[in-house]
Structure 1
Amino acid sequence: KLYVGDGRGLASGFHQALCLTRGGPTINVNLTFTCFYQPLNFVDFACQYLRQDITRGVNEAELEGMQKLFKNIPIKTTHAGRPIQYRLKLFGLPANRLTFDLRSRDDSASASLPKQITVAEYFAKNYKALKYPNLPCIDARNGEEERAQWLPMETVQRLR
């Protein structure tokens, strides 16, 4: 395996076929190469692919460029203890600024009063604190799902 340096790698192999010819059986062996994406979390993949350090945050122009490059790519997340596959739809606000309504599962009386929480706070409370809460979240969807699944970049891996 050879790593190209932009989040991709190159692997070599061979293809063989047995052909019957007038002179008798012949083995045809061809050397082949294939390109693959390294199994990196999305932050590392984006840094390598864009050849710049995005861990400090991204500006509007960089975010627009990333949106064009990465829209609809297959991704997966394993933060919930099992792999879940999605497609990247778009990038949103950073995890420390993107909020959503969290309803309590324990208290049915307070279930009607949702609490505003950031994605970064939610992950710190339920999984582990984010290393890059200043990076944009990914709107991950599977199938024809209407509702956005906002995931921090560092919890997502590029597939294939």
Structure 2
Amino acid sequence: MDIRFIAGFGPITRSGEAGLAFWASALGLRFDEMAPDHHHAHELPGANVFGLWPLAQAAAATFGVEEWPADRPVPQAWVEFEMVSPEAVEAGAVELVEGGHEVLRGAHQEPWGQWVARLQSPEGLLVGLSYLRDFHPEAAIR
């Protein structure tokens, strides 16, 4: 098998309107409708990481405990959107809250240096706004 890159990724939506409203309005992604209620964000570059993340670690990173809260949908996947700076992660989290979205964990710096804020999509996907200096070679110059 000769896998070259992640060709596509996206949540399976239960409500096309709610899903599109979250991904397009809350996160500002631009979509083209390919078929009725089937949308693609073609101009969004691909993933730099494909990672298997244990639920206990995702819970600890989001809630500070290794058990996922029983009152929240258990995520089947995660996606992080890389931002231009730690300040952009903070501003994005504030924008989401001001837009009426529940941010599960506000902008913070992880021990390995990544800045991240987390929330959950209507489908239950764990979503992060992220800044990892390793993804920004120009930041090493500063």
**Superposed pair shares fold, TM > 0.5:** no
Report the structure number with the largest CA radius of gyration.
1
TM-score by structure 1 length? 0.25
Q: Which has the higher contact order (CA 8 A, sep 6+)?
A: 1
Q: Relative to total residues, which structure has the larger helix share, 1 or 2?
A: 2
TM-score by structure 2 length? 0.28
